[in-house]
């Protein structure tokens, strides 16, 4: 698909030269916007009736690329979530890695508090050390409660401070039905979330590609124990669907007597990536059956069309007072369109460039918008950014351009 379209600018005369040192460049008129296919990132404010019912206290399915809700049943009910809590714990640790605050190879010494955690664990002893990556793998695969506390203490200094950050991050993500009290989901009062909020944090965590290795690994081992007392500990993924459901590639199970059987599941087929969440199922098998039913509905009725990959060019623009004078407006991220099967032709886009841009322009600065329509309905809007730097043109350059335009 050729996404390029040129815009031609003519010199405006001597007055433009006298404005050469103003910090604003002008993007001159362009042709009609190009038409492409893309997707909605809007979620219905009110819950619509589900096409069928599932045996769960709360459930939702979203398009993982956009957050578009495709199925919901009591999706905003505040419910205990057991070890699904660990999605937020892993998210904060991965963001600390991305921000350079910690490294995935850092060694973490296990505290007495971390070693004392009950429930699912790796049976680590106080004083032994493991890398951040090893602990994250243990949390993702074996749902290690001790690993959660160890990571929280390493990142924030204490589990209490880390939990404060969990709640702050939840607020930033728009998770209005959520309140965390601990890092691992062990039973405690006032610790809850909703199927919808879990889908939000699942989408965010899945952006970190490294985590996908752990989500899709069925079995592994790690060495635990103090020096001289080491032993191999087997890690088996708690999410059986990665071996039972076509395309399943995550994310996290959970169970306590209070929460019931819970699961946030991710599955991808071709370009379509869906996330389904169920809370409060009666058995592990029922949890897997209900998630599979929801995902089956999604894959049977919807498909994803890739509109553009990150960096695809939508327009070439002429910056009147810039050097270089031309810069491309490109997609800031991969853009996809989720539509009902067989209806990709109904989705179009319109690219609109900013009329003015402040110079200097830095690569990655937003210089336009890509509006997305399904027929007449606007369903999303995406930033278009500069693919290179543009500095202010010198007075001499502007004079030269002016006279070049005369002849």
H/E element, 136: helix 132-142
Q: Which residues contact 261 (CB under 8 A, 6 or more apart)?
A: 253, 254, 255, 280, 281, 282, 283, 284, 286, 287
First-last CA distance in the chain: 37
Q: Is 355 a catalytic residue?
A: no
What whole-number distance in Å separates Cα of residue 399 and Cα of residue 16? 9
- DSSP per residue, 47-67: PPPPSS--SSSEEEEEETTT-
Q: Is 143 a catalytic residue?
A: yes
H/E element, 143: none
Residue 230, φ and ψ in degrees, nearest 5 = -65, 150
Q: Is 83 a catalytic residue?
A: yes
Q: Which of 86, 137, 252, 321 is catalytic?
A: 86
Q: Which of 30, 40, 57, 83 is catalytic?
A: 83
CA dihedral 89, 110, 229, 130 (to 10 degrees): 60
Query: Closest by alpha carbon to 159, among 130, 193, 184?
Result: 184
Place of tokens 């991808």: 268
What's the DSSP call for residue 167? H
Name the burial class of residue 105, with classes exposed (0-12), middle (13-18) and buried (19+) by CB atoms within 10 angstroms of its CB. Answer: exposed
The pair of three-digit structure tokens given for residue 183, joined into one six-digit string: 């890092």
Q: Which of 40, 120, 143, 202 is catalytic?
A: 143
What whole-number distance in Å separates Cα of residue 126 and Cα of residue 140? 21
- DSSP per residue, 248-263: EEEEEEEEETTTEEEE
- Contact of 35 with 344, CB cutoff 8 Å: no
Please identify every residue annotated as catalytic: 83, 86, 143
């Amino acid at each position: 698909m050729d996404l390029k379209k040129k815009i031609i600018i003519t010199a405006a005369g001597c007055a433009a030269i006298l404005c050469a040192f103003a910090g604003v460049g002008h993007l001159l008129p362009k042709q009609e916007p190009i038409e492409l296919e893309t997707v909605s990132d809007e979620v219905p404010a009110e819950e619509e009736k589900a096409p069928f019912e599932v045996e769960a206290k709360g459930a939702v399915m979203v398009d993982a690329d956009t957050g578009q809700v495709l199925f919901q049943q009591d999706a905003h009910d505040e419910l205990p979530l057991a070890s699904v809590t660990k999605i937020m714990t892993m998210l904060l640790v991965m963001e600390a890695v991305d921000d350079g605050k910690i490294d995935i190879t850092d060694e973490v010494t296990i505290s007495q508090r971390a070693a004392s955690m009950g429930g699912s664990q790796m049976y680590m002893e106080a004083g032994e050390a493991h890398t951040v990556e090893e602990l994250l793998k243990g949390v993702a695969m074996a749902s290690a409660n001790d690993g959660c506390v160890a990571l929280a203490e390493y990142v924030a200094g204490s589990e209490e401070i880390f939990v404060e950050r969990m709640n702050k991050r939840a607020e930033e993500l728009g998770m209005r039905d959520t309140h965390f009290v601990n890092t691992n989901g062990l039973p405690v009062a006032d610790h809850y979330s909703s199927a919808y909020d879990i889908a939000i944090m699942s989408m965010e965590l899945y952006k970190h590609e490294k985590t996908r290795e752990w989500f899709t690994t069925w079995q592994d081992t790690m060495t635990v124990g103090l020096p001289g007392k080491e032993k191999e500990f087997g890690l088996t993924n708690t999410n059986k669907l990665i071996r039972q459901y076509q395309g399943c590639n995550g994310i996290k199970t959970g169970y306590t007597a209070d929460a019931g059987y819970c699961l946030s599941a991710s599955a991808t087929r071709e370009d379509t990536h869906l996330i389904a969440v169920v809370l409060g199922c009666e058995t592990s098998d029922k949890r897997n059956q209900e998630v599979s039913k929801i995902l089956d509905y999604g894959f049977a009725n919807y498909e994803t069309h890739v509109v553009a990959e990150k960096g695809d060019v939508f327009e070439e623009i002429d910056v009147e007072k810039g050097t270089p004078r031309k810069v491309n407006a490109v997609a800031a991220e991969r853009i996809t369109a989720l539509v009902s099967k067989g209806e990709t032709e109904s989705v179009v886009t319109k690219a609109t460039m900013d009329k003015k841009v402040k110079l200097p322009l830095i690569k990655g600065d937003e210089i336009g918008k890509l509006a997305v329509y399904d027929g007449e309905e606007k369903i999303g809007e995406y930033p278009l950014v500069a693919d290179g730097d543009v500095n202010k043109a010198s007075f001499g350059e502007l004079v030269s351009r002016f006279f070049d335009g005369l002849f």
